[in-house]
């Protein structure tokens, strides 16, 4: 039985928010919720994909193991984020593995249910494509960050995404360990530490798993500063 609070989180996901209410209600009747402890595997690369995942609480990472044995973080998802749609729609195998970064709760929806609805009502495909497009947009944004921003700017963007306020001062809770944050941002742990140090100049202080931002607008301005200027400051 899916709890009411979980229904609200699921309905707020990109996958669900653009679907008609009757369709959403029908899909959620078939949904199940599962809890995973930190470090527990959600699925392994190569397994058959037949469900769509929505994060109800906590954090989940998608990763691959490189030939040299290093772990490559592909993405990290939290509350109201969905993942696995495209591969599940095609009834293919997962190209990545998924692991609970923190204790978390996931909703799983059988992909066959949504595919059946899309076949009956093709106009719904546009709404479903919005979710897949969002994943593509996020990946392009990550690539752009790595190519065009300094490490400190990438960390600034990361903190802004987590910030609960649009202006003024606030405190952000870092959702997972710094090693994983570094991997998510395409950085080495020591580079992440240097980036945190550089952000002190724009009012960011790190204390264990919290980041205190004195001025969100100033941090936003720093994140979009011309890369050449930022690199000069970083030297």
In whole angstroms, what is the distance from residue 97 CA to residue 61 CA?
Answer: 8
User: Looking at residue 12, what is its pLDDT?
Assistant: 86
What is the model's pLDDT at position 58? Answer: 92
- Res 168: pLDDT: 92
Distance in angstroms (rounded) separating the CA atoms of residues 121 and 20: 11
CATH number of the domain at 149-234, please? Answer: 1.10.10.10
pTM for the model stands at 0.78
Helix (H) or strand (E) holding 99: strand 97-100
Q: Cα separation of 62 and 43, whole Å?
A: 9
Instruction: Write out pLDDT tens, residues 73-95.
Output: 888 888 888 998 888 888 899 99
What is the pLDDT averaged over residues 1-13? Answer: 80
CATH 1.10.10.10 intervals, the chain:
149-234
Is residue 156 very low, low, confident or very high in pLDDT (cuts 50, 70, 90)?
very high
- Domain 4-134 homologous superfamily, CATH: Jelly Rolls (2.60.120.10)
The percent of residues in the chain predicted with pLDDT above 90, rounded, is 40
Span 91-128, pLDDT tens digits: 899 999 999 999 999 999 999 888 888 888 877 777 77
Identify which of 151, 152, 162 has the alpha carbon closest to the alpha carbon of residue 211: 162
Q: Is the pLDDT of residue 218 over 90?
A: yes
The contacts of residue 185 (CB under 8 Å, 6+ apart) are: 145, 146, 151, 154, 155, 158, 192
Mean pLDDT of the chain: 85
Q: How far apart are CA 132 and CA 102, in angstroms?
A: 25
Q: Where in the chain is the domain with CATH 2.60.120.10?
A: 4-134
The pLDDT assigned to 60 comes to 94
Instruction: Give the tens place of pLDDT for each residue, 29-52.
Output: 889 999 999 999 999 999 999 999
Mean per-residue pLDDT for 169-181?
Answer: 87
Token pair 């995942």 is found at: 53
More confident residue, 15 or 197: 197
For residues 139-158, average pLDDT: 77
**CA 190, 192, 197 angle in degrees (round to 5)?**
100
CA dist list (Å): 229 to 169, 189, 234:
25, 24, 9
How is residue 49 annotated by DSSP? P
Q: How confident is the model at residue 235 (pLDDT cuts 50, 70, 90)?
A: very low
């Amino acid at each position: 039985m899916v709890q009411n609070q979980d229904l609200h989180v699921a309905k707020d996901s990109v996958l669900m928010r653009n679907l008609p209410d009757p369709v959403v209600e029908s899909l959620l009747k078939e949904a199940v919720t599962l809890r995973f402890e930190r470090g527990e595997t959600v699925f392994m690369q190569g397994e058959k994909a037949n469900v769509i995942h929505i994060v109800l609480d906590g954090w989940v990472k998608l990763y691959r193991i490189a030939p040299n044995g290093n772990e490559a973080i592909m993405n990290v998802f939290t509350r109201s984020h969905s993942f696995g749609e495209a591969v599940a729609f095609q009834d293919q195998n997962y190209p990545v593995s998924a692991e609970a970064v923190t204790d978390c709760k996931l909703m799983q929806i059988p992909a066959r249910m949504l595919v059946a609805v899309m076949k009956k009502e093709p106009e719904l495909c546009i709404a479903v494509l919005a979710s897949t497009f969002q994943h593509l947009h996020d990946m392009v944004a990550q690539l752009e960050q790595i190519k065009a921003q300094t490490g400190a700017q990438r960390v600034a963007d990361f903190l802004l995404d987590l910030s609960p306020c649009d202006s003024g001062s606030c405190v952000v809770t870092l959702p997972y360990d710094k090693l994983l944050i570094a991997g998510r941002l395409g950085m080495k742990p020591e580079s992440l530490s240097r980036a945190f140090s550089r952000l002190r100049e724009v009012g960011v202080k790190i204390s264990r798993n919290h980041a205190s931002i004195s001025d969100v607008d100033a941090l936003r301005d720093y994140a979009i500063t011309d890369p050449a200027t930022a690199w000069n400051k970083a030297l």
